[in-house]
Amino acid sequence: MRSYLQILAASCVIVTLLAAQSATASTAAAKASKPDGKLIELDEDNWQLMLNGEWMIEFFAPWCPACKNLAPVWERYANTAKDVNVNVAKIDVTTSPSLSGRFFVTALPTIYHVKDGEFRQYRGARDAEALLYFLKKKSWQAIEPLSSWKKPDTIHMSLLSYFFKLSHTLKTTQKLFKDFNARLQEEYGLPTWGSYALFAIATIFVGAALGLMLVCIVDFVYPPKKSPRQSFSESQDNLAKGVEDLATEEIEDDEDDNAAEEEDGNSDDDAEEDQEEEDEEEQETKEETGDKVQTEKKSEKINSRAGDDAPEVADKPSTEQVRKRKPRKAD
């Protein structure tokens, strides 16, 4: 019950703070929506005031010559624009680099007309009469507003603004590094390579400190599981059990290896026996084939000899023919 009351009290405090913040923001927006003839300076913290009412915004830089020429005209324009209920503001891109990325400012000075969250870029003349005529005749209605993917209040343009801010931070850091390097060389006589080595060592130590801090944060958020404490005898018993289990596993592995080797040996013996039987069958087949060939050759030789003897017998006359052919004796 007590914890429930604490949660309820904390919720009431949070709701009260949010309501006060929203009331303050709405009051500031209401004050800003009523022009008082003064030039308003917008930055990265209050630029959302331009989303309510009608505004003319100038993006400038102190080093820009064209911006310096426009500065007095813009001051007078802020005083005269209150007659048409328009707020006039300026944004310094050197102190608010993220806004230059959010509005994608590529040239200076750049002037935008903002009406209830719709953004239009002004490209006309930069004198007080032309600017006031632009508002009185509502010439901004003829200008196509920025497309949805180019609107400064979208998520992707917000991401782009962070990149611009990071670039500006890196430039500022580089400038500070150069100033510090020059100071080391002038006051302490430290050579250039010495200052670079000093910064390298400092970078290593800073990285190690950040890494240690990150490890501590992770251990704090996700603490490691605490294992129960064991006595010396229990740890020895567990160690002995572990050794026995390991020995048992090794014995089982050896038995499996021996069984596998025996199976491989049996399969090799069977393969050798099959090969020997095949070789014997081939040898028998070859012997039978050789016997048949020899028998055929012998029969051919016998036949050839018989054929050679037959003509000789035929050529020799028989004894009866010889007797007949003997001449008779003379009478």
Q: Which residues are catalytic?
A: 64, 67
**Alpha carbon distance, N-terminus to C-terminus of the chain:** 181
Task: Strand 118-122: give its sheet, edge to edge.
Answer: 40-42, 87-92, 54-60, 110-115, 118-122
DSSP E strands: which ranges in the chain? 40-42, 54-60, 87-92, 110-115, 118-122
**DSSP character at residue 92:** E
Answer whether 133's CB lies under 8 Å from 139's CB.
Answer: yes
Q: How far is CA 151 from each of CA 40, 59, 102, 183, 192, rounded to the nearest angstrom?
A: 22, 16, 8, 44, 46
* Burial grade of 135 (CB within 10 A; 0-12, 13-18, 19 or more): buried
CA 42, CA 38: separation in Å to the nearest integer?
A: 13
What are the backbone dihedrals phi and psi of residue 328, each rounded to the nearest 5 degrees, phi first? -80, 150
User: For the chain, give me the number of helices (H) and strands (E)?
Assistant: 8, 5
Distance of CA 135 to the CA centre of its chain: 50
- Measured distance CA(200)–CA(241) in Å, rounded: 52
DSSP state, residue 326: S
Q: What is the 3-state secondary structure (H, E, C) of 137-201?
A: CCHHHHCCCCCHHHCCCCHHHHHHHHHHHHHHHHHHHHHHHHHHHHHHHHHCCCCHHHHHHHHHH
Q: Which residues pair with 57 in a beta bridge?
A: 89, 112
